[in-house]
Copies of this chain bind each other. A is one copy, B any other.
Amino acid sequence: MSILVVGSVALDDIETPFGKAKEVLGGSAVYIATACSYFLSPIRLVGVVGGDYPQQAIDFLNNRGVDLEGLQVIEGGKTFRWSGKYHYDLNNRDTLSLNLNVFENFNPVIPESYKKTKYVCLGNIDPTLQKQVLEQVEKPEFVVGDTMNFWIETKRKELLNVIPMFDAFILNDSEARLLANEPNLLRAARKIREMGVKILIIKKGEHGALLFHDETVFSAPAYPLENIFDPTGAGDTFAAGFTAWIAKNDDTSDLNLKKAVIYGSTMASFCVEKVSLDGLRDLSYLKIQDRFRAFKQLSQFED
């Protein structure tokens, strides 16, 4: 089984209370592809970078088994750069600077060899582009879409247009409240499902995540971490773990969706333990399964 990943490819400057990192790997497609690569291969990436994108990054993704045929390299262009600073409690961040560069005119072109990919994970790019991607692939079996407050605020109509094309829609709690214009998270979830969402996942950061599907409501805990180093990419790696688990088992049953949410939480917990992608560099499928089992210890109780 393979997964098509479409999203941003960026170089980040990240400032946390614990330190600074300059020009480190970032972007939703890179986080998603890397996290997915521990579950199955090939992972097919679609994105755009400039000629300044480091060869080291290309090598890293190649080594992780990520197919880069869909990575457009605009020679003479500059890669998307984001610079952000996290506050003391790591729950809030300020964007210090944002240079879209080649990402500004990103036009995702799905290579022929990618078009039959059964699983699709769309990072939080412009919903218009998400739709363009879905119009190019041939009957994917399962599509996971992410978004962010920026698109809810600026491309609401386009977002509402693409949401029903997703099989699973992932957003965080504040985005859910914003999209539904409703402070109660459960009522917000109901409203969003009425927008045509089959499977809805609301991430609550350090408070875990909620899954809604048919009559099922599932509450996943967050992994209790004393040291959260850098939350960048947590949402992307959550989407990755979720999608990859479903793809690996080719199983969208309720039982498996719940496990997929736990795998999403597992990957996010590894991601935030180190800066940038570093938490995803030296993982193994065994380590991932160990943490999955720790989630079970954390939340299961006897009848």
Which residues on A are within 8 Å of B, measured CB to CB? 88-89, 183-187, 190, 204, 206-208, 210, 217-222, 224-228, 255, 258-259, 262, 296, 298-303
Contact = CB atoms under 8 A, between A and B. Distances in A.
Contact of A89 (B183, B225, B226, B262): B183
Contacts of A298: 217-219
A186 B224 CA distance: 7
A255 B301 contact: yes
Given A255-B301, A300-B300, A219 B226 contact: no
Nearest to A184: B226
Given A224-B186, A224-B219, A226-B187, A299 B299 contact: yes
A299 B218 contact: yes
B186 A226 contact: yes
A221 B221 CA distance: 7
6 contacts: A184-B226, A186-B224, A218-B301, A219-B299, A221-B299, A299-B300
A227 B190 CA distance: 13
Contacts of A255: 301-302
Given A204-B207, A219-B298, 4 more contacts: A184-B228, A185-B206, A219-B221, A299-B299
Given A208-B207, A219-B221, A302 B183 contact: no
Contacts of A204: 207
Nearest to A17: B183
B225 A186 contact: yes
Contacts of A219: 208, 221-222, 224, 298-299
Nearest to A262: B301
Nearest to A260: B301
A181 to B, nearest CB: 13
A121 to B, nearest CB: 21
Contact of A301 (B184, B190, B258): B258
A219 B269 CA distance: 15
Contacts of A301: 218, 255, 258-259, 262, 296, 300
Given A258-B302, A299-B299, A217 B224 contact: yes
A204 B89 CA distance: 16
A16 to B, nearest CB: 13
B207 A207 contact: yes
Contacts of A259: 301-302
A207 B222 CA distance: 10
A300 B261 CA distance: 12
Nearest to A216: B297
A224 B204 CA distance: 14
Nearest to A226: B186
A208 B184 CA distance: 15
Contacts of A186: 224-226
A82 to B, nearest CB: 25
Contacts of A185: 206, 224
